[in-house]
Each structure stands twice: as structure tokens, then as C-alpha cells.
Structure 1
């Protein structure tokens, strides 16, 4: 009986293996009808027998469309006939109607539990429907009876991956590779990639890298090179990681590959090369939010704020609720060299049009409060901050800016309350502790003021590399988000 299903999976391709077995004959040729005490076999009419022969012949000739209707109808009519249950299940599975195939394959397996071909195909069908708890024991039994079959090991690896057992999956991939080699067959690159992915998920990156390095066709496959880069990154070999990502991007200058290469450079603060590749990326994929985020982050962390602001503003126009874009735009515009940019002056208007974006409103108010006294519109700043607090009362930066505004008006008691809110939401907010110490001092609360100064000094030392923490957040976003 043929083994007919391949398993679509993010990590598992199962390509290049001849999926056949010698443990069971074809349904067409197996004429020994099965019956048990629990199932009284029904005598088949001559007309139905003729239909069965014709349908089985069509199935063997790969004419599934012709075979399926009669096989399914006959299998329902004669539930005790192993051949019909098996053939109907196989026909439905070949037609990608796996959910309908499973009951027939289960019935066939119940009639002949030692038939490895049926058990194998039932397990694959169960895997495709997500029922790994049923598939795994079946595959383990088949593998124990057929220990040297690559297709069985590959299916077993798929089941282990679905069960979140990557270490066991890696062992099965290794065994499949050995079986193929012993049989004189090449180990496909796709199998090595799946094997390496399992090893990587098992926290064994050095082994994963070795599996990929020895793969035929590695240098011609962008996905394989990108995976090699991930394994190199995990081992701490950043130079190999960057080289592999670059090679992958040259082979496949797609949005994901360019972002992956740029992200690798960002992680290790190689901002110049990162800017060059990401500028190319934004020109090639101008609609990609990830590309603008990565390029903006490269500019920002290279202190090129006037160039960073337009990238974040572009993101914000496309996604008005994007709080990260608003945050990075606001931080870029806070620098004096970028404050007069069109994108920075437009932030106030954007915030008024999108009051639901608390971060945008907060930074628009911040920009106003940083202007010279004669050009400062504190009423507008207050209105924006109030909008921000209505949209998100748990944003520490907003309470902090409200505290600054109140201090500019000598409203020290109100300022202390706002700054206490900010610190309650973000206890390590060094600037808020400093401002609160000023408020307490003006209010005659000298001991509390001294305590706040001490906290400000403590947290400023701990958070002196806040931009690095922000960069880590951006890197995580670029790594996890796979869509443009």
C-alpha cells in the first residue's frame, strides 16, 4: 500500500523521500476480506464487486477523481471490508480531504492493527488534522517494527515537533539522514534545514551549524543561509552570522531577507553598513513598516536624529495607533537638531487628529514645552496631555510631562501628585524622581526631597543605557515579526 501524505509544517518539509512500503500489499490485490466477532461481514453484490474492482484499478492508476465516489460509497455500505476502508481513506487523503479520510483509515487500522502502511498513513492524516496525540504512538510502533525507514523517521520527527519535543525530533532527523545515506541516497538540503531547526530549538546551535555547513547546495539557498546565520548568531559567531545573512540577502533580496541582514547589523551596532542596506531596502520596499523601523533605529542610534524622524513619521502616518513609532519620533524630535523638521512640527497636528494615540499626544506636548518661553503654548500642551491621559492613564511619560507643565506654572502641589503617579507606574524613572525632589523642596518636605535625589542618582546610573534597552525592543520586533 502506498504512503501518500506529506506533512505541511513551518519547520518540516519532508521533501525528497520516496514514501512507499513493502509491509503491506495494495488494497486492489488484497482479496482476503476481514471480519471479526464485532463486525458481521456483509455479502457484496456482483454489481458492487464490479464497482470495487473498477474503483481500485482507477486508484492504482492515480485516477483519484474517478475512484473516490464509488470507494467512499462502497466503504460506507460495507464497513467490515478492510480493503474498501483503506482505499476510501487513501483516495480522500490524496484528494487533500484529510478530515474525511481519517474515519476510514481508523476503521481500516482497527481491522488490521499490524498493517504498517495503514498505521503510517493514518498517523500522517492525524498529524495533518492536528491530532498529534493519536499520531505519535502509531508512528512509534511503526518505527519500532521498521527501524531503518527514512520516511517513518521523518514522520516521527514531524510528530515530535508538533508535540514540542525538538530534541526527540532532532534524533529522528539524524536517524532519517543515516538511513538515506545507508541506502545510497543523498540527504536533501530541506531535511538538513529541518534537522538544524530542531537542534536550534533544543538549544544546540553548534550542532545545528555543523549540520548546515555540510549540506549540499547551501550556498545556493537563501533560506538555508539565513538559518545558518541564526545558528552562528546563537553560538556567538557574529561575523559568520553577518556574512551568511548578507549572502542570503544577495541571493534573495526580498523584504524578509534584507530586514534580517539589517537587523543582524543593528544588534551589533554596525550602524553604517546597516544604514546602507536598509536605505536600499526602503527604496525597494517603500511600504514595509519593518524596513522603516529598522532604518529609523539605525539613524537614531547613530545620533542622526534629523534622518531618523522622517522614517518614524512615515510609519506613524500609515499606522496612527503605532505607539512605538510615536515614541521614537518624539525622541528624535526632542533633539535640537531635529526639532524644526517638518515631521516634528507636524506631530502636534497629528496628535490632535488622533487623540487615541497617547504617546503621540505626549510627545507633541513635550515638543511644545521645550520651545522658548515666548513661543510656548502651554494651553495646547495641557490639552494634549489631558487627551493622552484619557487615552492611556497608565503612561508614565504623560504624568511626567504634566508634572513639568505644572512646575512651569509654580503649581508645586499638583506637580508632586503628577510625578508621584509617574513613579508609581515606573519606579526607576530617574527624571521623575529629580523633578519630584524639586517639588518636595518647594513644598518644605526636605527629607523627602533628599530621598528623591538619592533615588534619582541611583536609577540614573542603572538606566544610563536606556537607548540600548529601546534598541533591544526594536530588534525583538524585527526578529519576531515576519510580515512586511
Structure 2
């Protein structure tokens, strides 16, 4: 999922008030310093040689700053600050040098003084605002960004910077108008346009986001734009177009993220064979990406290749040994694999339970992996272990509905129907809309001769079953949940 919103903080050392490489256009300085120095000379009766010395030292400080010789620049600035403490340019440069040295707290007084000396400078306010953000003084930063827009309402930089401030502060709705205005001022501004499209998508302005991306594609045909357009079309439920855009992005730039997005879209379509091929290519290129292995496992599992799916989940677990996500998929797959693969799956689940003893799901899935092994030949000791693990899961999470259901099934299998009824009833108190729980409860009640209650539970089962979506749709919903979870996980781009 694209997450390339520009971060102002990353650009702070590059926000100086000069942009040209020619010394004659620095700040307004190389030329304006002559005027400023002349005015100071007249008021303080400086000699021409003193004025010339200030100019020489200032230009030397600027050159040192631009060459990243910050200590040298600071040495010149100390002298300049002693002779011209009220110079806007000297204070601004001193602030920038301290920023470059990572000394944001030392930079702020100089940047604030520069704004006081030249309050109508929108760039100076932007520089101060960005430093205030670094110091986590957000409300003060916002005030400076807003003042910059007031001073330069038709300026691209002022509008773009305020918009980016709001984006970075997770105030997308507030940021959109300023990014939109900046784009109107400079329609060829790619970074602003991209961030605007992302903000529009996140605020559900789907049609405008699509138009913005299409306008940018006319300027630059990039993989990230096609990937973002894929996300837009997916949100608009244009799944075929979405898959095409993700595929195009992956061909243009076969990054881990682009390959995953393409494969994930195929999973959502339940086109498992193409998804298998995409994810196989992905794990060959990025063998350290756990989510690509999980995607491959889901595709194999959806195709009915349970052992291959479990093997992929095991690979993901090896890459993320303390992350619950791979083990969740392994646990779900444990009941369908062959006996040989079941041993490997069981070992992984036991290892995770030992690593995460407070995770209820770890106990639950390890219990299932033990129980699904040769159920007809299990002895009392093993069933006791399964019972103990399920109870541990419930102690850790008293609202774990699935654990109540499995414990009920365990007791029913032992013909302990009273205990089974208790577990099913507990599950239904937490979630009364579980059709299977009503059915199992009805069976247990019938076994104990409570025919009337059993019929009520069977009726509830029929009613809920009819309300539920078809099994294929339920499977799609599960895959969709998996995909969205995986998209939110950080991929590993290391080959």
C-alpha cells in the first residue's frame, strides 16, 4: 500500500531561504547584505573596511554551510552575531546551521529572531514552523505555517507546506484544501499531487483522487501512481481494473510492495492459480518477506494444496518467530494437512506457545493441532492435555468464543453432554449469532432428552444459517480480512 506522503521534517536542512547555487542570489544576501551593512555602517559609523569584512565573513559562512562544513560556518557566524546581532540573514543562517548539526533547540531562538526581524517573510516562518515540529511544539508550528499562507496566499510553497503539515499530523481533511490549492498553482508538482491523491483517497473522495492520479500520469508514468490507482479502483469496487493497475505497477517496478499488492488483489478475486505464480515469483525475489510467504500460503490453501500452504506459513513463521500472524494461519491450516506436515506444524505452534505464553490463540491453536492428530486413536492423557490448553486459552481470554466451542466438542465427544451444554451456552452468551453453536447445543440437548429446548436451538440454527452469506462469500470475507491485515504489515524489501 503506498505510504509515500512527503515529510517536511526530513527536508528541514534543505529549506534555506536561498535556492540558487549562485552566491549572488543567496538569501537575498550577497546583494542585500551590502544594503544592510551600509545602513548599519551609517548608524554605527562602521568603516568601509568593516563593512567589507562583514560581507566577506557572511559569504564564507554561507559557502561553508552549503559545503556542509558546519563547524566552520558556526565560527564565522559567532563573529557576525557579535557585530550584527539584529541581522535577519545572519540569524536565519545561524538557525539553519544548528539544525544541520541536529541542534534543534539551539536553532530555534535564531529562527524565531529572524521571524521577528522580518515578520513578512513566509519562507522564514516556514523554516521556524518546521523546526517547531521537530521540537514537538505542534500548535506553534501550525500558527507559523498558517501565517505563511496569510502572507503568501497564492504561493505554492506556503500552501504545500501547510497542507503537508496537516497530512503529517493526520488531519487529512484539513490538509486537502491547501494541497489542492498548491496543485492549482503548480499543476506539474508531482510530489504535492501524489500526496493530494493519497489524502483524497483516505478521505473517501474517490472520483477526485482518480482524476488527480490520471492528471499526474500524463506528466509521469510511474509505478507508484499505478499502484495508488489500483487502491482507488479497489475502494471503488472496480476489482478488474484494480488488478490491472497493480499488475502494471509490479511489471514497471517489481518491488516487494508492488508484487504483494498484485498477488493480494488476485487473492481477493479468488483466482488462486495466478496468485500462486505471483507470490512464488515474489518469494524468489524477496526470500525475507514474510507476508509474501503468507500470501503464497493462502493461495495454496485456497487451491486445496494444504501441505504446500502450510509449508509457506512455516517459512513465514521462521522469518517472524515472535509475530502471531504466521501462527494464526498455521493454526487454521493444521486440521487439513497430511500427518507428515502435521508434525512440522505442531512443532511450530508449540514453539510459539513457549515464546508467547500469554497469547490465548497460541494455546488454542496448539490444542487443535494436538487434537486433530489421529483423533480416533487418542488416549485419555492427550485429550486431557487438549482440555488443559483450551482452558488456558479461556483463562487468558474469557471471551474466546472458538475455545468454548472446541471445549464443548471435546466434552461431547466424551459423552459429557452436561459439560458440553455449559460450554456452548457460554459461547452463545458472548455471541448469540453463531449458527454452529446453536446446532451443537441442540444436539447435546437432544442427547440429554431436552427435546423442546433442542428444537428451539435447531430453529435458531436454521434462521441464522439462512441469514448468513454463502460459503464462498464467507471465504472471500476471510481472505479480504487477511489481505487487509497483511497490507498493513510492513514488508521486507531485502532480496
Q: TM-score, normalised by structure 1?
A: 0.81
Q: Distance in 2 between matches of 1:17 and 1:177?
A: 20
Q: Distance in 2 between matches of 1:440 and 1:150?
A: 73
Counterpart in the other structure of 1:123: 129
1:454 aligns with 2:455: no
Q: Deviations over 1:60-110 (max 9, x none)?
A: 333552222342576489865545433311332355544432221112223
- More helix per residue: 2
Counterpart in the other structure of 1:467: 475
Q: Distance in 2 between matches of 1:201 and 1:159?
A: 16
Q: Distance in 2 between matches of 1:18 and 1:196?
A: 28
Tell me how far 1:345 sits from its aligned partner: 3.3
Q: Distance in 2 between matches of 1:143 and 1:24?
A: 20
Counterpart in the other structure of 2:190: 189
Q: Distance in 2 between matches of 1:104 and 1:247?
A: 49
Change (3 A) 1:306 1:461: farther
Counterpart in the other structure of 1:6: none
Which of 1, 6, 20 pairs up with 1:12? 6
Counterpart in the other structure of 2:286: 285
Counterpart in the other structure of 1:248: 249
Which of 123, 132, 142 pairs up with 1:136? 142
Q: What is the RMSD computed on CA atoms of the aligned residues?
A: 3.8
Tell me how far 1:460 sits from its aligned partner: 3.3
Q: Distance in 2 between matches of 1:279 and 1:228?
A: 24
Change (3 A) 1:180 1:368: closer
Q: 1:57-76 residue pairs with structure 2 within 5 A?
A: 57-61=59-63, 62-63=66-67, 65=70, 66-72=72-78, 75=81
Which shifted more, 255-264 or 188-197?
188-197
Counterpart in the other structure of 1:4: none
The unaligned stretches of length 5 or more in structure 1 are 1-8, 34-40, 182-186
Q: Deviations over 1:299-332 (max 9, x none)?
A: 2233333332222233345545554434433433
Tell me how far 1:430 sits from its aligned partner: 2.6
Which of 399, 405, 421 pairs up with 1:400? 405
Where 1:215 maps in the other structure, the secondary structure is helix
Which shifted more, 14-23 or 72-81?
14-23
Q: TM-score, normalised by structure 2?
A: 0.79
Contact 2:296 2:309 in 1 (8 A): yes
Contact 1:102 1:126 in 2 (8 A): yes
Contact 1:361 1:385 in 2 (8 A): no
Q: Distance in 1 between matches of 2:321 and 2:453?
A: 41
Contact 2:132 2:140 in 1 (8 A): yes
Q: Distance in 2 between matches of 1:275 and 1:215?
A: 32
Counterpart in the other structure of 1:477: 485
Tell me how far 1:350 sits from its aligned partner: 4.2
Which of 345, 350, 365 pairs up with 2:343? 345
Change (3 A) 1:265 1:412: same
Counterpart in the other structure of 1:315: 316
Contact 1:170 1:195 in 2 (8 A): yes
Tell me how far 1:179 sits from its aligned partner: 3.0
Q: 1:110-259 residue pairs with structure 2 within 5 A?
A: 110-180=116-186, 187-215=188-216, 220-259=221-260
